[in-house]
Amino acid sequence: MKRWISCIIAGVLMCCCLAGCSGDSEEKEATEESVKPLVIDSETYGSLYENLPDSDVSYTEEEIDDITQGVNEWAGNTLLVDSSLDEETRNLIDQGLYESVVSEEDLENIKSDRESFYGDGAEVTISLTETAVASATVTRYNNKDLGRVRCETRISGTRNGEFFTRSYQMILVISYNEGVTAVYEIGKIEWEDLEQN
């Protein structure tokens, strides 16, 4: 028993010495901290959207500009995509989208819409994605800063040679850190096809 305790103590001391010798330890720790996945603790199991505390603390204008750009890139690569992508890539995109939707009703509506939108071998080409953020507030959850974003994204392109524009109204849960936006969840989503003039 004493031998095991001595081995454990020696291992811990050796690890501490090695970590102490590294000049980049603070930078490594900061980098590792920023890329850790967010985990919902078991006491409050559920979606982030449902558990996120309300906040009236808005991001700065500069941060909102970054968030708008990040959400726009995410939407353009997720909500509707070119049919020219290979099937495996589209399936991965679909899976990521489906896993981020909180509401079962919204999930079923999205799945049904994707089946009909891309059905019968529809040729879809996306030409423009534009996002406008109505509000973006920051709050603290599980020792992480998270945001709740209300936004509209308009995606334009062609489907079987005919122009379309679709407007998505969303409430998203995001992470924003040093100019990088990551969408964690879609709390609510609605869409409509806009008339072409």
The per-residue pLDDT for 195 is 80
Nearest in space to 144 (alpha carbons), one of 187, 174, 172, 170? 174
Domain boundaries of the chain, sorted by first residue: 53-194
Helix (H) or strand (E) run with residue 175 in it: strand 162-177
Arithmetic mean of pLDDT, 77-87: 94
pLDDT of 167 above 70: yes
The per-residue pLDDT for 59 is 95
The per-residue pLDDT for 21 is 47
Provide DSSP, 120-148.
GG--EEEEEEEEEEEEEEEEEETTEEEEE
- From residue 50, alpha-carbon distances to 15, 131, 186 in Å are 41, 24, 11
Helices and strands per DSSP (H, E), number in the chain: 6, 4
Distance CA 139, CA 146 (A): 5
CATH class, range 53-194? alpha beta
Question: Given its phi and psi angles, is residue 61 left (phi above 0), alpha (psi -120 to 50 degrees) or beta?
Answer: alpha
The per-residue pLDDT for 126 is 96
pLDDT of 93 above 70: yes
Phi, psi of 105 (to 5 degrees): -65, -45
The per-residue pLDDT for 39 is 42
- The band of 38, judged by pLDDT with boundaries at 50, 70 and 90, is very low
pLDDT of 163 above 70: yes
Q: Looking at per-residue confidence, does 92 or 24 come out higher?
A: 92
Arithmetic mean of pLDDT, 34-40: 40
- The band of 54, judged by pLDDT with boundaries at 50, 70 and 90, is confident
Distance CA 113, CA 127 (A): 20
